[in-house]
Amino acid sequence: MSEKYDYCIIGAGAAGLSCAIAAASNGNSVIVLEKNKKAGKKLYATGNGRCNLTNRYADTACYRSKGGGYLELLFNLCHGVDISEQVCGFMNALGILTTEIDGYVYPASFQASSVVWAMLDELKKLKVSIECEHEVNDIKQYGDLYRVHCGNEEYTAANVVLAAGSCAYPSLGGSRSGYGLAERLGLKVIEPEPVLTALKVGKQEHFELLKGVRARGRVDACDRSGRLLASEYGEVQFTEDTLSGIVCFNMASLKPDRIRICFFDRVPDRNAFISHADRTLIGVLNGYVNDRLAEYMVESYGLKRSTCCSDLSIKQIDAFVGHIAELEFHVTGTEGFDKAQAATGGISLDMIEPSSFAVKGRKGLYAVGELLDIDGKCGGYNLTFAILSGLKAGGGYHA
């Protein structure tokens, strides 16, 4: 006969670890089962290792649910007005101070590892066992109890929390495993799709000039007919064949056909070029933007790097200004699940009790974090949801 736990939590990510802390802080016996070699593998990688924990501007408008359901209700009921305060409060209770840059909140150390370590220390204090390299392959309900199977091992628990995350970023542990467990338990799963991933631009002439450039601008996502889908201001990062950075990540789910970017706070007018007739176009543009961006603007227009302002007529200068005012890139796709920070889709919100994250009509079964059909913008919103949903399912944290 296997040992009986009050809570068996499947997945040691942000949601599962938060849930384990809350459940154990309420006097429950808790076990966490994790398929990876170590707990919190994805959490370590968040925010480029800096862990963007939450965002001061977090509210329901920053979240989406592919299948609809009770998104607003879920979030309002569970987290009240200032949701970022709740994440910071929890972190502070674990001994992690937080710091903010333009609304983006990080641990004061700017190290994701400090968050993982603080959570693991708290779990140790609360005597929670975390069994790594334990992939759950089946869950069966027998009356008021659940039997959780990992290969030949079996764990019995009164409450089971599905915190297995999404299939985004498989090299950090993302897998479809949680969806399979949920479906076998009779839960509706909305087909996941990758979100928060870089936009591929394929082979575009002169694009290689931009590799490594990071520049801020107004970014417009448009459909095939040129209709504006979304517009955001922020930093764009260029790789060999992608556009990335927070604004581009946020636009991936819209599947844009093209991205138009204005890199100027003030677009140079014809006089900027006429008054510097002896200088090269690149030289003038470099007064406004990154030098490689300036080179790209000139070469992608079919001009030589050495072209001087005086080489162009006024009509030609006006046409050139029109070109640089808004650079257009054709989008051929996204980097997909391989490099997605999150997935849209997952367990349907219709099945979830908003106040507790319990599965409706299934006593003792809960689902939290990215496994649910809810995803947030880039900027701390997904960790916020993972942490707060985990705490809620564990009955709230009582330090």
Ligand X SMILES: Cc1cc2nc3c(=O)[nH]c(=O)nc-3n(C[C@H](O)[C@H](O)[C@H](O)COP(=O)(O)OP(=O)(O)OC[C@H]3O[C@@H](n4cnc5c(N)ncnc54)[C@H](O)[C@@H]3O)c2cc1C
Minimum CB separation of residue 50 from ligand X in Å reads: 7
381 binds ligand X (CB under 6 A): yes
CB of 101 to ligand X, least distance (A): 12
Q: Let me know: does 190 contact 66? Beta carbons within 8 Å.
A: yes
Nearer to ligand X, 135 or 257 (CB): 135
Quote the CA–CA distance of 26 and 291 in Å, as a whole number.
58
78 near ligand X (CB under 6 A): no
How far, in Å, are 18, 24, 26, 152, 162 from residue 394 at the CA level? 8, 8, 8, 27, 12
Residue 84 in contact with ligand X, rule: CB under 6 A: no
Q: Does 244 bind ligand X (CB under 6 A)?
A: no
Does 69 bind ligand X (CB under 6 A)? Our answer is no
Beta carbon nearer to ligand X, 166 or 300: 166
- Comparing CB distances to ligand X, the nearer of 75 and 207 is 75
Q: Does 346 bind ligand X (CB under 6 A)?
A: no
Residue 93 burial (C-beta neighbours within 10 Å; 0-12, 13-18, 19+): middle
The smaller minimum CB distance to ligand X, of residues 134 and 260, is found at 134
The pattern of x and - marking residues 296 through 335 that bind ligand X according to CB under 6 A reads: ----------------------------------------
Q: Which residues lie closer than 8 Å to 319 by C-beta, 6 or more apart?
A: none
Name the strand (E) or helix (H) holding 16: helix 14-25
Closest of 1, 109, 22 to residue 368, by C-alpha: 22
Q: Backbone phi, then psi, for 52, in 5-degree steps? A: -80, 95
Q: How many CA atoms lie within 13 A of 117 on its CB side?
A: 8
Helix (H) or strand (E) holding 244: strand 242-244
Q: Which residue in the set 10, 105, 190, 261 belongs to the binding site for ligand X (CB under 6 A)?
A: 10
The site string for ligand X over 164-203 (x = CB under 6 A, - otherwise) reads xx--xx--xxxx-xx-------------------------
Does residue 30 interact with ligand X by CB under 6 A? no
Contact positions vs ligand X (CB under 6 A):
10-16, 33-36, 41-43, 45-47, 51-52, 135-136, 163-165, 168-169, 172-175, 177-178, 341-342, 369-371, 380-383, 386
